[in-house]
């Protein structure tokens, strides 16, 4: 039986070396390349055209997209397993849209990773995404917590989407301006963006906030002259 | 998955080493029970530090390399990028220490009559 050819990309050297040893110990797997994640990993994928890529990815969606797209272009038939410490469902969904084939949280066991690799290699045309993540994270589905943002953060974001300045948001929500800035910094960190416009765009695209919330309060002018309700 | 990968590396490169995997709550008790010579953990409790060589591995964070503090009988160092070779070096030092201790104990035994010496037991 031809072994499954794997490229392993992770910045944590001890972990990567250990995983490479674990994988190599299996007769049905061959680790053809290993190294840090990112551009270096794309080069490995280009060179080896592996059956499966096991890779860490950036938390920042845009950078993750760049790397995953580059891997796809370098080797369209390779199956991509994302190995990550992030258990945010929004993140899973984003990566799924980027075309990954499996999402394995690092709390998973080695056996679970091996089973994932085996499943993908046996069904190379399969379109389902294999997900292994903590039960607690999965149990959040359907509880209305798909968004990584708190209710207050969503309130801030709706006002930002309406074009409010920090001062205007602060006045509207009866907060200090510093608190608004802190909320925005947390929002950027949580959803991996670097600007107000990117935050709004992401929140609208992910339907964490609705267009109606943004446009229905058109009497609610940024200068605070009109009344509004969220 | 981290500790499994680490344990696999140890078993692969030092097959004579006996490796136990335990959670942080059971760490000190396991060190006492087994008389471990090397402890590897994210946080090494004081009691374990007293009893064994140790490696404290930083908590894994995305975008950062995995650092570690290594303490092996006066040989202490910090590494910013923890490799399997660092793990094996610490284990080898622990083994050297063990061999050295064993040799010292052997030397402390006075040879008995069958070995050409007086039968006096331990000094």
Give yes or no for residue B56 having a pLDDT over 80.
Answer: yes
Please indicate, yes or no, whether residues A71 and A128 belong to a single structural domain of this protein: yes
Mean pLDDT value across residues A77-103? 84
A92-124 per-position pLDDT tens digit: 877 888 889 999 998 899 999 999 999 998 887
**Is B67 in contact with B9 (CB distance < 8 Å)?**
no
pLDDT in the model for residue A123: 82
Mean predicted lDDT score pLDDT of chain A: 83
Please answer yes or no on whether B62 and A22 come within 8 Å at the CB atom: no
- Which of B6, B8, B19 to mutate: most A Cβ within 10 Å? B8
Nearest CA in chain A to B65: A12
Structural domain ending residue among the three candidates A87, A115, A138: A138
Contacts of A207 (CB under 8 A, 6+ apart): none
Please indicate, yes or no, whether residues A42 and A110 belong to a single structural domain of this protein: yes
Chain B positions touching A38 (Cβ under 8 A) are: none
pLDDT in the model for residue A5: 95
Please indicate, yes or no, whether residues A43 and A118 belong to a single structural domain of this protein: yes
Please answer yes or no on whether B63 and A14 come within 8 Å at the CB atom: no
Residue A17 in tokens: 């070396």
Please indicate, yes or no, whether residues A101 and A195 belong to a single structural domain of this protein: no
CA dist B91 → A96, A172, B88, B94 (Å): 42, 61, 5, 5
Cα distance between residue A173 and residue A165, in whole Å: 12
Chain A positions touching B12 (Cβ under 8 A) are: 21, 25
Please indicate, yes or no, whether residues A54 and A156 belong to a single structural domain of this protein: no
A176-186 per-position pLDDT tens digit: 999 999 999 99
Q: Mapping DSSP to helix (H, G, I), strand (E, B) and coil, where does residue A185 land?
A: helix
Please indicate, yes or no, whether residues A108 and A155 belong to a single structural domain of this protein: no
Name the phi and psi angles at B37, rounded to 5. -95, -20
Q: What angle do CA B32, B26, A10 make, to 5 degrees?
A: 115
Name the pLDDT band for B119 (thresholds 50, 70, 90).
very low
Cα distance between residue A189 and residue A124, in whole Å: 35
Give yes or no for residue A70 having a pLDDT over 50.
Answer: yes
Cα distance between residue A158 and residue A171, in whole Å: 14
Residue A229: inside a domain, yes or no? no
Name the least confident of A16-25, A45-54, B85-94. Answer: B85-94
If residue A1 lies in a helix (H) or strand (E), which one and from where to where? none
Question: Chain A residues within 8 A (CB-CB) of chain B?
Answer: 11-15, 17-19, 21-22, 25, 56, 58-59, 84-86, 106-110, 113
Interface pTM, i.e. ipTM: 0.74
B11-55 per-position pLDDT tens digit: 999 988 899 999 888 989 999 998 888 999 988 888 888 878 889
Residue A230: inside a domain, yes or no? no
**Is A208 in contact with A147 (CB distance < 8 Å)?**
yes
Cα distance between residue A199 and residue A209, in whole Å: 11
Name the least confident of A38-42, B60-64, B119-123. Answer: B119-123
Structural domain ending residue among the three candidates A110, A138, A166: A138
pLDDT in the model for residue A184: 94
CATH classification at residue A43: 3.40.50.2300
Residue A59 in tokens: 């938390």
Give yes or no for residue B118 having a pLDDT over 50.
Answer: no
pLDDT in the model for residue A213: 65
Please indicate, yes or no, whether residues A123 and A179 belong to a single structural domain of this protein: no
**How many other β-carbons are positioned within 10 Å of the β-carbon of residue B101?**
11
Residue A227: inside a domain, yes or no? no
Nearest CA in chain A to B86: A14
**How many residues would you count in chain B?**
123
Helices A151-161 and A196-205 sit at what angle, rounded to 10 degrees? Answer: 110
> What's the number of domains chain A is made of?
2
Pick left, alpha or beta for residue B121 (phi over 0 → left; psi -120 to 50 → alpha; otherwise beta): left
Please indicate, yes or no, whether residues A111 and A56 belong to a single structural domain of this protein: yes
pLDDT in the model for residue B123: 32
Please indicate, yes or no, whether residues A157 and A47 belong to a single structural domain of this protein: no
Q: Does B42 touch chain A (CB under 8 A)?
A: no
Give the DSSP per-residue string, B16-64.
Answer: T-------GGGHHHHHHHHT-SEEEESS--HHHHHHSEEEEEPPP-TTS
pLDDT in the model for residue A212: 60
pLDDT in the model for residue A218: 42
Please indicate, yes or no, whether residues A173 and A103 belong to a single structural domain of this protein: no
Name the pLDDT band for A206 (thresholds 50, 70, 90).
confident
Cβ-in-10-Å burial (0-12, 13-18, 19+) of A198 comes to: middle
Residue A189: inside a domain, yes or no? yes
Cα distance between residue B89 and residue B80, in whole Å: 16
Name the least confident of A32-41, A49-58, A64-73, B75-84. Answer: B75-84
pLDDT in the model for residue A228: 28
Nearest CA in chain A to B67: A12
Mean predicted lDDT score pLDDT of chain B: 80
Residue A144: inside a domain, yes or no? no
Please indicate, yes or no, whether residues A59 and A86 belong to a single structural domain of this protein: yes
pLDDT in the model for residue A50: 96
Residue A191: inside a domain, yes or no? yes
Q: Which domain holds residue A109?
A: 4-138
CATH classification at residue A170: 1.10.10.10
Name the least confident of A42-56, A72-86, A134-148, A213-227. Answer: A213-227
Residue A143: inside a domain, yes or no? no
Structural domain ending residue among the three candidates A78, A112, A138: A138
Residue A225: inside a domain, yes or no? no
pLDDT in the model for residue A90: 67
Name the least confident of A21-25, A71-75, B70-74. Answer: B70-74
Mean pLDDT value across residues B108-119? 49
Cα distance between residue B22 and residue B28, in whole Å: 10
Q: Which of B9, B64, B65 is nearest to B38 (CA)?
A: B9
Please indicate, yes or no, whether residues A17 and A128 belong to a single structural domain of this protein: yes
């Amino acid at each position: 039986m031809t072994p499954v050819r794997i490229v392993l990309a992770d910045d944590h050297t001890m972990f990567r070396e250990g995983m490479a040893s674990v994988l190599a110990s299996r007769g049905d797997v061959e680790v053809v390349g290993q190294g840090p994640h990112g551009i270096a990993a794309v080069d490995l994928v280009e060179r080896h055209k592996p059956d499966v890529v096991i890779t860490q990815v950036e938390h920042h969606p845009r950078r993750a997209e760049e790397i995953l797209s580059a891997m796809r272009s370098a080797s369209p038939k390779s199956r991509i397993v994302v190995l990550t410490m992030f258990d945010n469902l929004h993140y899973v969904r984003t990566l799924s849209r980027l075309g990954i084939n499996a999402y394995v949280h690092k709390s998973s066991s080695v056996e679970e990773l091996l089973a994932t690799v085996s499943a993908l290699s046996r069904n190379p045309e399969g379109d389902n995404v294999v997900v292994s993540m903590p039960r607690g994270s999965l149990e959040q589905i359907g509880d209305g917590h798909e968004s990584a943002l708190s209710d207050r953060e969503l309130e801030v974001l709706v006002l930002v989407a309406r074009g409010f300045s920090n001062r205007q948001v602060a006045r509207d929500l009866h907060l200090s301006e510093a608190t608004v800035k802190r909320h925005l910094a947390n929002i950027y960190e949580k959803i991996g963006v670097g600007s107000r416009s990117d935050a709004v765009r992401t929140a609208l695209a992910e339907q964490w906030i609705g267009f109606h919330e943004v446009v229905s309060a058109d009497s609610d002018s940024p200068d605070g002259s009109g009344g509004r309700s969220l | 998955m981290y500790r499994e990968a680490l344990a696999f590396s140890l078993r692969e490169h030092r097959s004579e080493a006996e490796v136990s995997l335990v959670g942080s709550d059971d760490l000190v008790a396991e060190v006492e029970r087994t008389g471990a010579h090397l402890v590897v953990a994210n946080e090494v409790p004081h009691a374990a530090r007293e009893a064994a060589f140790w490696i404290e591995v930083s908590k894994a964070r995305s975008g950062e390399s995995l650092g570690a503090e290594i303490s092996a009988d006066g040989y202490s160092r910090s590494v910013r990028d923890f490799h399997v070779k660092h793990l094996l070096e610490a284990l080898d030092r622990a083994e050297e220490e063990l061999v050295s201790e064993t040799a010292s104990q052997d030397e402390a035994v006075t040879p008995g009559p069958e070995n050409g010496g007086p039968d006096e037991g331990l000094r």
